[in-house]
Amino acid sequence: MTTSTTYGTKIEDRSLGHILYGLMSGFPLLLLPMLLSLFINLSQRPAAHHRLLQSHLRWQRHSNLIFIGLLLLGYVVPLIWLAASIYLLGSLWFCHRVIKGWLSLLDGVEM
């Protein structure tokens, strides 16, 4: 007697998320990979992806935009020590967001 069980598993393609996190992690290279990641992220249609990838695309988009805002804030601050502090804290915060998001994507956890 032969029985077979079919489970309704849904396979999600997470490769776009991994590519964008990889580009985001290259932000020290004159911010070009991060800006490319933001451009690709903004060009994606929200309804074309599953919930997991949608949550990570939103997480990446907010991380990139807030980091750019912090960089602009550091640029307009006239005190060098305060601008350097904003750059340093913003960079550490952005690294934290990239690492946390990427590890969550690997584990299949929504952000």
User: For 42-65, how does the pLDDT look when each residue is reduced to its tens digit (9 = 90+)?
Assistant: 998 776 678 888 999 999 999 999
Do 12 and 50 form a contact (C-beta atoms < 8 A)?
Answer: yes
**pTM for the full predicted model:** 0.84
Chain segment 14-41, per-residue pLDDT in tens: 889 999 999 999 988 888 999 999 999 9
Here the tokens at position 5 are: 């069980």
Q: Coil, strand or helix: which one is 42?
A: helix
Smallest CA-to-CA distance from 25 within 59, 74, 64 is with 64
Q: Which helix (H) or strand (E) holds 102?
A: helix 80-107
Contact 34, 64 (CB under 8 A): yes
Q: Where are the domains of the chain?
A: 15-43+51-107
